[in-house]
Structure 1
């Protein structure tokens, strides 16, 4: 392995906050003792410690539902909810990096499919392949091929997706749009016409909360996808499409123009605050992943398609910015058979339908029971089956952490200074971190 483990650990410890989009910002206590060693044997067998950062409303309920289902099926396996709270996953990722370096892996852990998994833990030689499990469970035609590719490296599969979040969603306040006779925008031209109409009425058109830098990156990647299309967007991460291409500059110009319509206090707000502005009618629109739907429904008690509506972000109709939480089998655990039992439950129809309605996400499988999902879930499940999938850079799927860190830094500077050429040059320089 060419890249030293110490370098990987250092990056993960310092910059793990970058990839925290679809995780909890809750400061509630952990669901278990995260320091307990995986496979610790008290004479009655090793413990299945399930490591995640799911401690907030909805996600914690979903995880508990999965654990209950597992215990019902395998009552003899000792299970520990080893979730680590706080910091939108930052704390959990730091603890995980320390444990993995110390050859003390949890039995299984939450990780985003794509580069976070493949260029991190798989490239570091820390994960077992799951090809045999996929064959045994008959999963290869139950998950979309593009999704299986996100959890695969060098022809081998390394984790099981439990959910799908969509990143390219524009949420809007239904009452504001109805009162002003506006339609939800489908193109960038539509967006700016709507934004101008709202601004003329003294209404903040676009809510942003970029106290944490990933949220501005999340907005920019949606603009980038809408400008480039799925094929060229994906080619950015392989070096086949260059960051100094005129289309990337066009996306940066569009992003700059969108920033002129955001709330003045955006830098002091987080993503929930921005979503709340839309929910309470203090702003009209917000671009955020569909964990925002869970926040609208569970925290603000708003009704989908009555109080708030949604469309894909401008230019991305038929495209799906995919974020997936997955679990795998680390090397060196004492109870790999129990881990595979857990993964088999997690990847089952029953497991996915127990978890996702509570989490606010949709199942990764294409054969879920749609009756268990609300109007947003039903629509997104159908669109997921036929959409072109694109990996998220803001949430760890598209590119290695070295690139995403530099991209976040460049965007943070751009939001303040808004110098397009400087921004594009920074992205081009950061692209040296990408594998060619």
Structure 2
């Protein structure tokens, strides 16, 4: 069940958790995590409070010198303003005292620390660089998804499908600018490689302006191949249309597959499947949530106990099985997960790098993310590659 405010178990020092996971898979995942914690640590009382405007509430309470003990946030550069203000707790002891540190890959570890100090505990991972496809339709149009070796090759294939067949190559929802930004960052990664991607996100975008513009041009080509109602189509609508067989391909994070599992007659591998987005094989582009703590809490031992459970194999198994995501720990038993998520976990463990998502706040600061979404809104209304490339570069190179 989800709740706006509650306390659970324990008579010792308490922990207040602030979050926005209410209802749906997020609420179920949090409930499973908290149930597991209560079973393992009945002596620690835990109260959780929900707030839809989480970031605003956390900042307000910090300014009032009454921060929550712990809260759920995107890690990476999304946390940089908090780190700059010295309001995040040092959770290095939690990482180093048990088996956590050796069972996380470098990508999640880097997202959790600043200048060598751990400030967060990642709890789940969603992969964003998936290219889903309809099995019967790829056979009908004569394309092998695994043979597409770059985003530009996919654009050329979509053009061919549109010219030579009656099938729709790819749905591309644009009602919300984040889906366009996510497509752009995935194209940038696939077409120009990890070094360029990291260079752009590390505030040297001006040195890579040509790549920024080229990725925008490829996204424009995807837009040309998309249905005419693309500007008014939401992710939910597009995902439902994909399950009804209305397109050959669909790019989205792995959260989209939750709907496929619930769709009648739409079975994994038989009716739908996926490959890494062209050009990104071996890379696991990540969106994730983490738990962070305030620099000053009344019950530091209880907070450390809770963070230790969040980072444990048991806690992450409980949370991710309900969330439809994979655990950032590599030693979690995923036998009870869906076959798709088991495949995602295998790909994660075999990945050579785990770049941090731009769209979901890990690879950019909050102010930069706002500017990037604004740029994408301009892009889908004008399709002016050069002008929007300038906006994107300016957003990345801003020091705010």
For normalisation by structure 2, the TM-score amounts to 0.91
Alignment equivalent of 1:239, drawn from 172, 179, 203: 203
Alignment equivalent of 2:37, drawn from 56, 59, 70: 70
Pair 1:190–1:431, CA change in 2 (3 A): closer
Give the 5 Å matches for 1:218-257: 218-240=182-204, 242=206, 244-257=208-221
Q: Shift of the alpha carbon at 1:46?
A: 5.5
Name the SS of the counterpart of 2:281 in structure 1.
coil
CA contact (8 A) 1:130 1:159 kept: yes
Q: Write the distance in 2 (CA, Å) between the matches of 1:186 and 1:294.
A: 27
**Residue 54 of structure 1 aligns with which residue?**
21
CA contact (8 A) 2:205 2:393 kept: no
For normalisation by structure 1, the TM-score amounts to 0.84
Pair 1:301–1:131, CA change in 2 (3 A): farther
Structure 1, residues 354-411: CA drift from partner, whole Å, max 9, x if none? 1112211111011121323222222222221232121111000111122221111111
Q: Write the distance in 1 (CA, Å) between the matches of 2:361 and 2:170.
A: 25
Name the SS of the counterpart of 2:363 in structure 1.
coil
Q: Write the distance in 2 (CA, Å) between the matches of 1:420 and 1:393.
A: 19
**Residue 12 of structure 1 aligns with which residue?**
none
CA contact (8 A) 1:31 1:84 kept: no
Structure 1, residues 164-184: CA drift from partner, whole Å, max 9, x if none? 111111112223223333322
Pair 1:275–1:101, CA change in 2 (3 A): farther
Q: Write the distance in 1 (CA, Å) between the matches of 2:375 and 2:156.
A: 28
Alignment equivalent of 2:297, drawn from 324, 333, 339: 333
1:132 aligns with 2:99: no
List runs of 5+ in structure 1 lacking aligned partners: 1-28, 86-90
Q: Shift of the alpha carbon at 1:316?
A: 0.8
Q: Write the distance in 1 (CA, Å) between the matches of 2:346 and 2:46.
A: 34
**Residue 387 of structure 2 aligns with which residue?**
422
Q: Write the distance in 1 (CA, Å) between the matches of 2:267 and 2:67.
A: 41
Q: Shift of the alpha carbon at 1:415?
A: 1.4
Alignment equivalent of 2:4, drawn from 32, 36, 39: 32
Pair 1:319–1:44, CA change in 2 (3 A): closer
CA contact (8 A) 2:94 2:304 kept: yes
Pair 1:300–1:430, CA change in 2 (3 A): farther
CA contact (8 A) 1:327 1:343 kept: yes
CA contact (8 A) 1:244 1:424 kept: no
Structure 1, residues 273-303: CA drift from partner, whole Å, max 9, x if none? 2211211112332211111122322477843
**Residue 345 of structure 2 aligns with which residue?**
381
1:357 aligns with 2:321: yes
1:179 aligns with 2:151: no
**Residue 25 of structure 1 aligns with which residue?**
none
CA contact (8 A) 1:243 1:431 kept: no
Name the SS of the counterpart of 2:355 in structure 1.
strand
Q: Shift of the alpha carbon at 1:240?
A: 4.4
Give the 5 Å matches for 1:18-417: 31-33=3-5, 47-84=14-51, 91-117=53-79, 119-184=80-145, 185-200=148-163, 201-240=165-204, 242=206, 244-298=208-262, 302-387=266-351, 388-417=353-382
CA contact (8 A) 2:69 2:293 kept: yes
Pair 1:205–1:243, CA change in 2 (3 A): farther
Structure 1, residues 210-247: CA drift from partner, whole Å, max 9, x if none? 32221110111001111221122111122345355322
Structure 1, residues 33-86: CA drift from partner, whole Å, max 9, x if none? 3xx8xxx9xx9656433222222422221111111100101123222332335x
CA contact (8 A) 1:58 1:294 kept: no
CA contact (8 A) 2:206 2:397 kept: no
Pair 1:139–1:30, CA change in 2 (3 A): closer
Q: Shift of the alpha carbon at 1:412?
A: 1.1
**Aligned Cα RMSD in Å?**
2.4
Q: Write the distance in 2 (CA, Å) between the matches of 1:101 and 1:212.
A: 32
CA contact (8 A) 1:167 1:322 kept: yes
Q: Shift of the alpha carbon at 1:252?
A: 1.8
Q: Write the distance in 1 (CA, Å) between the matches of 2:181 and 2:205.
A: 19
Q: Write the distance in 1 (CA, Å) between the matches of 2:357 and 2:98.
A: 28
